[in-house]
Amino acid sequence: MEERKVFCEGCRNDVNFCIDEVRMEGTIKGEKYSYLGKKAHCVDCGEEIYIAEVNDNNLKALYDSYRKKNGIVSLEKILDIPEKYAIGKRPLSLLLGWGEQTFSRYCEGDLPTKQYSDILNKIYDNPQYYADILESNKGNLKTIASYEKSRRAVDAILGNSKAKKSKIDLVIGYILSREEITPLALQKVLYYIQGFYYAFYKTFLFNEDCEAWVHGPVYRDIYFRYRDYCCNPIDRKIEVDCSVFTTIEKVLLDSVIKNICCYSGKVLEKFTHSEAPWLSTREELPEDAVSNRIIEKKLIGDYFNAVKEKYNMINPNDIKAYAQKMFEQI
């Protein structure tokens, strides 16, 4: 029993009142539900007194009873999801393909449908399920920052290590930890890393294919990841565990960063526009035609093999001569 003073309509005075737990019944969608609620009474006249927080508690208890009986996700789980996965209410709604305010309404007590409830329950209970949604639907988010913040949170929950990341993600992390770079330049640098790595070591460093877009070779997923930065440098200085790279990988990466990253994205775009892989893939396409044609890895390998031979490259440091010659020609 709890006591404090409040105004009583019957006594017309500030009085003590008590709150008792009682079994109550309420109706939702035409069905009655029993729940343990509370009632407040004046200790002088015994009249029931309206207390806002008591009424709110009873309403929540009624809805909790409904949720439990019908298998609807609890309000506690709903409120915990944004904090658990470091994502705002509106971005989460967009990520799930719902109305922008839908998840916010659920946080305020609105009942989700059974279909949406099952999704939220699964998201709360299964971080990998959420991680898959985040990766598949990241294009729905308005900013890359929302994606990256939530990605870090779910990775921490899953215990993902750098070694479990794809090679291209590790390479991007390595570049960003050492160089201020725009999304356009990053695309071209990834392409040159792939080409020169093959020229020297006869294998490709990562599996992803690039496409022959208007502005040169583009790795589609990477484009959508960083497109919000537009022409600005990617604001992401990070610490990288270099032990995930072999010595020869680091030598190649360092040389490309030193000798290719010193040029702007637009300059590197002009480089690629005069190279066989991009030109032969687009063939007859008009200059401004949108294209998702994949630049075949064989084209990249053959071209950079020929570059290595033409410039008599002995080790990755010799990339400098090619870059300087390309710059002189534009």
Would you identify the CATH topology of the domain 3-70?
Ubiquitin-like (UB roll) (3.10.20)
Check if the beta carbon of residue 217 is closer than 8 Å to that of residue 211. yes
Query: Which residue shows structure tokens 């600005």?
Result: 232
Average pLDDT for residues 126-136, to the nearest whole number?
92
> What is the tens place of the pLDDT at every residue in 56-92?
888 888 888 888 888 888 888 999 999 999 999 999 9
Q: Which residues pair with 42 in a beta bridge?
A: 17
Domains of the chain, by residue range, sit at 3-70, 75-160, 164-329
Q: What is the mean pLDDT of the chain?
A: 91
Lowest-pLDDT choice from 167-181, 206-220, 230-244: 230-244
pLDDT digits (tens, 9 = 90+) for 220-263: 999 998 998 889 999 766 677 788 899 999 999 999 999 999 99
| Local confidence band at 3 (pLDDT 50, 70, 90 cut-offs) | low
C-alpha–C-alpha distance, residues 243 and 198, integer Å:
21
Identify residue 156 by its one-letter amino acid code. A
Q: pLDDT digit string (tens) for 254-300?
A: 999 999 999 999 999 999 999 999 999 999 999 899 999 999 999 99
Buried b (16+ CB within 10 A) or exposed e, 203-231: ebbbebebbbbebbbbbeebbebbebbee
Nearest in space to 155 (alpha carbons), one of 142, 166, 168, 143: 166
Range 48-55 average pLDDT: 89
189 vs 69: which has the higher pLDDT:
189
CA-to-CA distance for 127 and 124, rounded, in angstroms? 7
Q: Is residue 1 pLDDT above 60, yes or no? A: no
Q: How many CB atoms lie within 10 A of CB 95?
A: 25
b/e per residue, 57-82, with b = 16+ CB within 10 A? ebeebbbbbbbeeeebbbbebbeebb
User: Residue 320, exposed/middle/buried by CB under 10 A (0-12, 13-18, 19+)?
Assistant: middle
- DSSP secondary-structure letter at 112? P
**Cβ-proximal residues to 269 (8 Å cutoff; 6+ apart), any chain:** 184, 188, 215, 216
